[in-house]
Structure 1
Amino acid sequence: MLSMTGFGSAEECGEFGAVVVRIRTLNGKSLRIVWRVSDLLRPFIVEAETLLRSRIHRGSVEVDADAEVSPSLVLEVDEELLAFYSGIAGRFGAVDGAKLLALPGVVRQKGGGCDILKKPFLRALRSALTETIKRRREEGRLLKKALSQLLMTAERLLKKIEKNYTSSVPQLAEQLAAKVRQAMERLQIRADEAGVLREAAIVAERVDIREEMDRMAAHMEEFRRTLNAKCAVGLRLDLLTQEMQREASTMAAKCADAKVAVDILELRTVVVEIRQQVQNVE
């Protein structure tokens, strides 16, 4: 399991100068890459992004890259254009060489002059990626441990809810039947015991949470299986926690037993904590 947050940096130095790459990754529903690179490195972004997408699949990625090189390696002077400007300027007095060099087109980038930076840039990017993924993996191990502990807490709470709910069903049935009798007496409606029990059963069905508990147990089992998968699982875990939240909310809305309701509230809290942690998983 990998976290979506991480950081890595690398530097490549040589006769050409130096290239520095820094990568920062954050949470995100899909893969989004933001490049902030020197103009000298911009021709290589397409190849660099292909490399990055092959190793990072989800999250927001920020890449900062800069190059420091000797101007003679990447720049050249257009001698003909310089002579032309110099001739015109000489007609009006002294010639300022610095101003001439600043004129458009006098100093230009060499054709293919940036190619010398391609290999160092991609090497630095690979090294920074390796460091970033290492940190994402380390944080992923901590996330997996935290999620496993939270899941165990949720499973214990669900078993407690199932036990308390099962023991409360007979008492709940009696209470519902008594309330139905009282309502019929108040409304002066005559009904035999079978009719009372029938009405009580209808009401009991509306507060029955056994189906929700069964689905919650199934979601938890799938969550644990997915947690141990070797591929990117963040999106699937997020969908599972959404379903777990929905079941817990339905249980809370239907539950008629105060003691069980307290346990369900605690279960909902744990599921929310699980969802918050899942947001960091790739």
Structure 2
Amino acid sequence: MKLVIVTGMSGAGKGTAVKIMEDMGYYCVDNLPIPLVEKFVDFTLQSEDELEKVAVSIDIRNSNALSELEGVLERIRQKGIRFEILFLEADDSVLVKRYKETRRSHPLAGGGRIDKGIGLERKKLAFLKEQADYIIDTSRLLQRELKAELERIFVRDEDYRNLYITVLSFGFKYGIPTDSDLVFDVRFLPNPYYVEGLRQKTGNDIEIQDFVMQYKEAHEFLDKLEDMIKFLIPNYVTEGKTQLVISIGCTGGKHRSVTLANELYDRLKECSGYGIKIEHRDIGKDALRGK
């Protein structure tokens, strides 16, 4: 039997993950009381119709019994039963926003501020995160992207190193993305904005790509950046980082930054073991402003 314990921060997407895993053929039990976890596993193994894949969701709603969980998991290990822990994570600011959007109260807030409940939850779940086999940060993930990550881990059984990379283009005149981990300025390259016939196009158009990539400096920049990122990734993984946002900016976030972000994404997407996606934050903003 393949057993997965699904846990993590409230609002990080555990319910969504359980539904996705159910679609993947797992028999799923949501918020199973902790005193019943060991009995449920024993019963499942002893049943004549033994289930091949089982996912058990445990969260902070079990708060009063969480102190018992570590002992329960250790007893399961001692019985020779293998299991994996999937921990869903998200930034505090994202969790607060999600709670406000749904108008739900945090289970540990006690009628007080949401961020206080989140802080207390992090402390209570710290031991589970430390033991987790997989940590997925959903701060920037869409549901389809979460599904792709879960399929990569639990269907294709690919190596997974708990890091999701976002390559993000932006325009400096609209502000540096606040969640950036690494920021690179490509305004040193000639600007196609001032070339007749190119202003309205974007870095997703071949004409802009050809213009930007005709300069040897663009290739040198990408070579050096790729080399540095590939050096940093395993070190970030070792330090437990789960989300890496690489931001590349030009003036308006439409031409040079988009081109080079796309090029970097193409170079990194073959890196096995990491999730990666591309975003262009400001690519359409000049058009909205009539420029």
- What is the TM-score of this pair, normalised by structure 1? 0.28
| Rg larger for | 1
- What is the TM-score of this pair, normalised by structure 2? 0.27
Query: Higher helix fraction: Structure 1 or Structure 2?
Result: 1
